[in-house]
Amino acid sequence: LAVDMETIRKQLPVWVEVSRPHAAHGKVASYIPELSKAPADALGVTILTKDGESASAGDCGMRFTLQSISKVFTLILALMDHGEDEVFSKVGMEPTGDNFNSMLKLELVRPGIPFNPLINAGAITVSSFIRGRDPKEKSERILQFFKDLTGNPGLDYDLQVYRSESETGNLNRSIAYFLKENGVLSGDVEEVLDVYFRHCAILADCSDLARMGLVLAHNGVDPMTGQTLIPRRYVQIAKTFMTTCGMYNASGEFAIQVGLPAKSGVSGGILSLVPGYCGIGVVGPALNDKGNSQAGVHLMEHMSRELDWSMF
């Protein structure tokens, strides 16, 4: 990397303020009622390198729920629990070009399995693959995995967001029952949904995202502890899905403008990474029409250009 951390630390607050006004073109998600309380003009970022150096700016201390960002790591846990063959017999590997909560192709395309693990249909299916005696144990294993990945033992749920989604998530319920009907989902549908809604409601901040990104940037080894948290092959799979599907139907444009693996969530978070170098956490709750953080994507584009981050 051409630019040192000192320069990044100096520039980062400037770049955040350049991107922040773009939030005005976006809208905070409200289909999960509790999410609508987030501040629309917030924007924060944390970058964390393998040497433990970090740079943060803006509203980096703001906490938000992981939402779809969690899908990358539940996929990894499902792969660790069951292996590639089993998981990918029920979830595909292709981008959709549709919205993240679309049911369209479940019906239209044979054999009726979700296109990929990062859209809702795929992530709900992945939730059914997490090992555990009951939903409680499955959710505990997921939360523990996130605690290990972030090095943050205090990580917990936002129960208000969890309840809010659980009470209003009719579309996800329809998707799940449809998958059950097609034999894609096994087990009790409501129990699978409970596991899914819970991991979407895990609270984190930009530094938690950056730390998780760093583990992916280092092929599954946490550079802070030297511990291997994820087998390299599953990191490879996760990063590939992030590149092809992580920003939903804006993944192609993001690959061109930013050129890094990334995953967005509907509460405005973006987790990204520069392979071999750093993890990146961004939050900006106002979303664009594809469901990605409006100012957050602008900031990622700006940083990538300035720091020459593209992998391609």
Per the annotation, does 53 bind a ligand? no
3-state secondary structure of 227: coil
Spatial contact of 48 and 278, defined as CB atoms under 8 Å apart: yes
Per the annotation, does 304 bind a ligand? no
3-state secondary structure of 204: strand
Spatial contact of 14 and 58, defined as CB atoms under 8 Å apart: no
Residue closer to ligand GLN (CB basis): 247 or 274? 247
Token pair of 68, please? 């779809």
Residue of 266, 258, 262, 222 lying closest to 244 (CA atoms): 262
What angle, 0 to 180 degrees and rounded to 10, lies between the N-to-C axes of helices 294-307 and 5-19?
A: 140
Q: Pick the binder of ligand GLN from 8, 48, 237, 266 (CB under 6 A).
A: 266
The letter for the amino acid at 150 is T
Per the annotation, does 266 bind a ligand? yes
How far apart are CB 276 and ligand GLN at their closest, in Å?
28
Question: What would the x/- binding string for ligand GLN be over residues 223 to 262, using CB under 6 A?
Answer: ----------------------------------------
Per the annotation, does 177 bind a ligand? no
Question: What would the x/- binding string for ligand GLN be over residues 272 to 301, using CB under 6 A?
Answer: -------------------x----------
Annotated catalytic, 266?
yes
Token pair of 22, please? 């773009």
**Phi and psi (nearest 5°) for 51?**
-85, 5
165 makes contact with ligand GLN (CB under 6 A): yes
DSSP E strand stretches across the chain: 27-28, 44-49, 54-58, 64-65, 203-204, 262-264, 269-274, 278-283, 286-287
Question: What would the x/- binding string for ligand GLN be over residues 2 to 41, using CB under 6 A?
Answer: ----------------------------------------
Annotated catalytic, 161?
no
Number of residues binding to ligand GLN, judged by CB under 6 A: 11
Q: Pick the binder of ligand GLN from 100, 241, 254, 309 (CB under 6 A).
A: 100
Question: What would the x/- binding string for ligand GLN be over residues 123 to 162, using CB under 6 A?
Answer: ----------------------------------------
Q: Pick the binder of ligand GLN from 46, 56, 96, 101 (CB under 6 A).
A: 101
Per the annotation, does 249 bind a ligand? no
Q: Specify the DSSP element, H or E, that contains 166.
A: helix 159-168
Residue closer to ligand GLN (CB basis): 172 or 251? 172
**Phi and psi (nearest 5°) for 228?**
-85, 115
Spatial contact of 166 and 114, defined as CB atoms under 8 Å apart: no
Whole-angstrom CA distances from 190 to 127, 182, 197 are 11, 16, 10
Show contacts with ligand GLN in window 43-82 (CB under 6 A).
67-68
Spatial contact of 199 and 74, defined as CB atoms under 8 Å apart: yes
Q: Which residues are known catalytic residues?
A: 68, 71, 196, 248, 266
Which residues make up each annotated binding site for substrate?
A: 68, 120, 165, 172, 196, 248, 266
